[in-house]
Every structure is written in structure tokens, then in C-alpha cells.
Structure 1
Amino acid sequence: MLSIGEFSKICEVSTKTLRYYAEIGLIVPDEINPENGYRYYSIQQLKKMLLINRLKSYHFSLEEIKGLLEVEVDQYKEKLYAALHHKRREIENKIQAFEYTLQQMSNDILNVEHGIPMMAYLDRIEVQLVEAQPMNILYTRQMMSKEEYALGYGSYFSSLYEKIAIDQLTLLGTPMTIYHSQEYNPTGNDTEFAIPVKEAVKGTRDFSGGLCAKAMVKGAYSELTSVYAKLREWVDTEGYELVKSPYEIYVTDPKQAATLEDTVTEVYFPVQKK
């Protein structure tokens, strides 16, 4: 048996952290002396602790790790494989986003060096007044935070595509997101994911068209806030007002784009003249 100090030293995990892990049921000492409360770990638990450390280095949360450790033996390999694959994709997305940010910073540094204002790019965003066509959409709608949206974006559209395949619906357009909340709330916003289809079945609804201010962004979704700002400025300057929820249409599926720069998103503000 190993004392908590010995176990801590070998695994490079503080005794305070080990006590917390025991408290949440992640890894519990094999033995606790009832007289003095000393904690002891078995040699066999070293492998489990090293696995926990390994998964933490892969940016798994303690909750995710605990869930994997509790998986039935006959399902463990499959669950672990799926979890590792998903986490790798998350990290790849983050790396790609950091690379885009670094490129953006380099461009800003160059612009500042040449006396060009950092926000001058806003003037290059083109706004058009268009007549959007009505459509029938298959949708799912719920309250969700920005983090939940980022993590679950693919899964929400995947479930819609799955229903389209099962029900043999006719696809008429690319995915879209409609934002119904009147203001931003970090704890949750009224968000609707939708895909245009031909058939009017359970789970679909009419999405009315109409006059819209439209702008397009090519690149990372982080640029969308700039497009929203530009659209809002245009609406006010041109004497219009927003009449319905803004929405985005993903012209390019981010999963099929070679780089973030290749993704194309259209943003629509339904408007009317004041």
C-alpha cells in the first residue's frame, strides 16, 4: 500500500487534489485508517491515476473522466474511442481558431504600422437590401448558452439531417440559425436551428420571407459580431427598423470547408421602412 504522500509524489498530484478526487468519487483510497484517518492507495490504483492525468492532459473535464471510468467493461473500448475522437476534434477546432486569430493579429499589426485604423475593415462589409423568399423549415428550438451552442452546433443539425433521411424529406437549402432573444444572456438564449425542406410534416413550420438587410462574412464565426454591428448601423442610417428575429444561413458547411477562411455565412435582418 502507498500512503497518500507517496501516491501524490509518484503521480505528481497534490494531496489536496487527491482528497477532492475522493470527495467527488473519481478515485477513492483503497483503505482509510479508522483511528487516524490516514489514507492509503493500492499499487493497482497507480494505473487509474495515470489514466486520469492522461485524460486531463487531453482537456477532458473531471465530469467527463468520471463518466468514462464508470462505463461498463463491455462498452468501455467503444465509449473511450468515441470520446477521444470527439475531444481530438474539439482541440483541432481550437487550434484552427487560434491560427486564424494569429493571422488576424498579424494583419492588424501590419495595418497599424501603416496607419490604417484597426476597425477599418467594417467599411468593407457590404450590406444589400433583398427580398427573402418564404420557406418551409424543419427545426428544433431551445434555450442555450454560447458554450452549449459551440459544443452542440453539429449535433443539432445532425439530428435534423437524420430526420430528413429517415422521413425521406426533400432538402431545399442549407442550414440556418434563428436568434429569437431580444437581448444577449450568457446563461441562455432562445435559439432555433433549421433546415429548409419541401414537405410540411410534424416538426416543420412556415418561415415567412420579406424585406431584409443582408450581409455576408467569409471566414471564422468570430467575425459575425462585426457583421451584426454593420447591419445594425446600416438599418438605422437608412431609415429602417428590425421587425423580426435576425438569422444566419450557412452557405458553406464548416465541416466541409478546408479552412476557416473558406466558410461563408449570410446574415439577414428582416426590416421595414420606419
Structure 2
Amino acid sequence: MLSIGEFSNICKVTAKTLRYYAEIGLILPNKINPENGYRYYSIDQLETMLFINRLKSYNFSLEEIKAILESKESQDEKIYLALTQKKKEIEKQVQEYEKTLDQLNNDILNLKQGKSIMSYMDSIGVQLVEVPMMYLLFIRKMVHEFDFAEEYRNCFSALFRRIADDKLTMIAPPMVLFHSAEFTPLGLDTEFAIPVKEYVTGSRDFHPGLCLKTVLYGSYSNLSSVYAKQREWAEKEGYESSNALYEVYVTDPSQVSKESELITEIYYPVKKKVSNNYTEK
């Protein structure tokens, strides 16, 4: 048997942490002296504690670790599935850190060259274009921000099935129209749509007309910068919103290996502002 101090020293875990683990039922002392309350751990528990430490190093929460230890399934199978999922999470975090590091390096370089940290906004191009009327096969619904990726997959899968089943002709890439000015407790009023040649049940005509257009190469995280640039351009040139902002996904996000391969067109339908100047009599 090992005292709590010996057990703590071997596993590099404080006695305070071991007491907390006992409180939450993660790992209990093998024996507690009823006279003085001293806690003792068995030699066999060393491996359990090292296993806990290993999962913690992979960013498993204590709740996740406890669930694995208490699982009645084959522990090796349970651990394999849990590690596989955690690996995907860490890989995603690494990608995010790499992207942040690249952005950080670019900002440092700009500052060294005497440029503003926001000078990247200068590279965002805005065009004024006329977009012709089109027929949209669509699904419109309220979507919460955290559900968007799943709704994107589900809605477009349904739309593509409809196109295949009815032998419709797709004439442009998938697009999403945002009809809400802001998020509400019910989510964002979102329309998933595919332009088609035929006018059929479940489709509608859409007249974008005059639009500000920007082509974004790379991560969707840069969309906010595009939105801001388009609003700045519209304000400066005397335009205002006339219809729902929409994004056209030139490349399918599920078909690219890295974010840098993404191509997205952002359209902001606009009209000239009406002058409110009146001549006093």
C-alpha cells in the first residue's frame, strides 16, 4: 500500500487533486484509516492514475475520463473511439493555431513595413455588378449559428436529390441568402438555394439586380471583413441595401482538403440612396 503522499509523488499529482478526484468518484483510495483518516492507495491504482494523466494530456475532461473508466463496454474499443475523436478535435485546433500564426506573422510583417494592422482590408475588392433574374430551388428556415454546418449539409443534400429526381438543370453553384438583419433567439432567417433553369413547384424567381460583389479566396472566417468592406464602400458611394445578402459557394467545402482552396462569392444587393435634401420656401 502507498500513502497519499507516496502515491502523489510517484504520479506527480498533488494530494489536494487526489482528494478532489475521490470526491467526484474518479479514483478512490483503496483504504482509509478510520482512526486518523489517512488515505492509502494500492500498487494496482498507479496504472489507473497514470491512465488518467495520459487522457488529461490529450485534453479529455474529467467527466469524459470518468465515463471511459465506468464504461461497461470493451474498454479498448471505448478508448479507441474516444482517442480517434479527440485526435480529430486536436487536429482542428492545430489548423486553427496554424491559421492564427500565419495571420499573426502577416500582421507583424505589415507593421515592420510601416503599414496598419488593418491594411489587409485594402486587398478586399468590391465590384458593382448587375445580376440577372434567376429561378431558385430553395429551402428557407430559421437556423441557429451553431447548427449552420449541419443545416447546410442537410438542406443542400435534399435540394440535390430533388434536382436528380426531377431531372432539373442546375445553372450556378449553391448559394445561401440571409434574410435576417441580426440573430434572434429563434436563429437566423436563412435560405439555402440552388439556381435552376426550370421553374417548378418549390422554386421561386429571384431578382438580385444591382449588387456589390466580392470574391473571397480562403477561410470563411474572413467573411466578416468582406461584409464590413462592402458596407464601407456602399456608404462612401451612396448606396443602401435592397435585398438579402447572399453567398455563392463556388467550391464545395466538403470537397477541398484545406481552407485556402475555398472560393466564395459574396453579393450585397444595393440601390442608390434617395436624397433627402429639400429646398426651403
Give the equivalent residue in structure 1 for 2:163. 170
SS in 1 for 2:118: helix
2:50 and 2:153 map into 1 onto residues whose CA distance is 35
Give the equivalent residue in structure 2 for 1:210. 208
SS in 1 for 2:163: coil
Give the equivalent residue in structure 1 for 2:2. 2
1:207 and 1:41 map into 2 onto residues whose CA distance is 73
Contact 1:179-1:190 at 8 Å conserved across structures? no
Give the equivalent residue in structure 1 for 2:93. 94
In the alignment, structure 1 segments of 5+ residues that lack a partner are none
2:203 and 2:60 map into 1 onto residues whose CA distance is 38
Change (3 A) 1:246 1:47: farther
What amino acid is the match of 2:233? W
Aligned residues: 260
Q: What TM-score, normalized by structure 1, do the two folds share?
A: 0.72
1:42 counterpart = 2:42: yes
1:265 counterpart = 2:264: yes
After superposition, residues 1-274 of structure 1 pair within 5 angstroms as: 1-74=1-74, 76-128=75-127, 129=129, 131=131, 133=134, 135-138=136-139, 141-144=142-145, 149=146, 155-159=150-154, 168-170=161-163, 173-174=173-174, 176=176, 178=178, 180=180, 182=182, 190-191=187-188, 195-196=192-193, 210-211=208-209, 212-242=211-241, 246-274=245-273
Contact 1:32-1:39 at 8 Å conserved across structures? yes
Higher radius of gyration, 1 or 2: 2
1:71 and 1:209 map into 2 onto residues whose CA distance is 57
Per mean C-alpha deviation after superposition, the further-off stretch among 104-113 and 174-183 is 174-183
2:126 and 2:215 map into 1 onto residues whose CA distance is 8
Deviation at 1:163, TM superposition (A): 6.1
1:179 and 1:63 map into 2 onto residues whose CA distance is 40
1:179 and 1:88 map into 2 onto residues whose CA distance is 37
1:180 and 1:39 map into 2 onto residues whose CA distance is 60
Contact 1:177-1:191 at 8 Å conserved across structures? no
SS in 2 for 1:252: coil
